[in-house]
Amino acid sequence: MFQNRAEALALALPAAIFAAAVFLVPVIILLSDGFRDPVGGWTISAYTDFFSNSLNQTVFLRTLRLGAIVTVVSAVIGYAAAFAIVSLEPATKGKITGLVVLPLMISPVARTYAWIVILGRTGIVNQAFQALGITDAPLRILFSETAIFIGLLQLFLPLMIISLISALENMPKDAIPAARVLGANWFQVFWKVVLPLTKEGLVIGGTLVFTGSLTAYITPAILGGSKVLMLETLMYQQVSVSGNFVAASVIAFILIVMSFAANILLKRVATARNKVRSQG
């Protein structure tokens, strides 16, 4: 740790000032609209109104649920995939990582449309299911929560995998063998060694995936077929159809709070593990 405060501030402040001026201040002004009453005072009535509406409650819970499921599933798959990739020869590793990153290079709009082809009545998934005898008639997968889940997972899984790869790579090489030698089973190895040592990656990846799922617009709009409203689609409606900027800023604020909460929660989970390790 270097102690020179002036030097530290000189390094850190440009970024902070930039983010504050270009981003934070305008957004805060906009968000404050949600807390104003018509006479110019402060109120939270817009929020109590929002949560007293049963549609809003449903949409809020659905958004939270889908975000959480996508995050958890991508963390599980992400660890498996990141482990597999890290164990590869360097040359193969580069290529596979490239393939994982590849979907990020494709416009989310085009990717979402591709799912319409894959998940449709005559799509590959239904053809495979029917050929394998899993189902007789084509399943209706499109335009449901399942479709949104699949779309979001494909959209954000790469972010989780890359975050975890870089975390796993920075883990001391002998940590796992050492734990194994000391008699830990694979579950213990993961829970007590890998997770604490890769928490930074998990927190980054988890926050990216969760926040991404909350704020994705195109995927729920297209794959949900507007039958399955999410907070972001609801907000877009408020802006572009009703021109109701107050309602939109209320939803925006709720989404922001949810993201912050997820970030803090993930950090908690990760540090709690860490403490256990340092005590044991």
First to last CA, the chain: 26
The phi, psi pair for 8, rounded to 5°, reads -60, -45
- Pick between residue 43 and residue 127 the one whose CB is nearest to other proteins: 127
**Residue 276: CB minimum distance to other proteins, A:** 20
CB 130 within 8 A of CB 191: no
Site map 149..178 versus other proteins, x via CB under 8 A = ----xx--xxx-xxx--xx-xx--------
**Residue 76: CB minimum distance to other proteins, A:** 11
The residues that bridge with 42 in the sheet, in sequence order, are: 36
264 touches other proteins by CB under 8 A: no
- Pick between residue 77 and residue 265 the one whose CB is nearest to other proteins: 77
**Residue 199: CB minimum distance to other proteins, A:** 10
The C-alpha atoms of residue 15 and residue 28 are separated, in whole angstroms, by 18
Residues 207-236 that bind other proteins (CB under 8 A): 207-208, 211, 214-215, 217-218, 221-222, 225-227, 229, 232, 234-236
- Choose one: 7-15, 40-48, 63-71, 128-136; the region binding other proteins (CB under 8 A): 7-15
Contacts of 93 (CB under 8 A, 6+ apart): 85, 86
Residues 99-118 that bind other proteins (CB under 8 A): 99-111, 113-118
Calculate the alpha carbon distances from 207 to 172, 201, 263 in Å: 24, 10, 6
Residues 53-92 that bind other proteins (CB under 8 A): 54-55, 58-59, 77, 80-81, 84-85, 87-88
Residues that contact other proteins, how many (by CB under 8 A): 116
Q: Considering just the CA atoms, what is the radius of gyration of the chain in Å?
A: 22
Within 143-244, residue ranges assigned H as helices are 145-169, 175-181, 186-188, 195-197, 199-215, 218-223, 231-240
278 touches other proteins by CB under 8 A: no
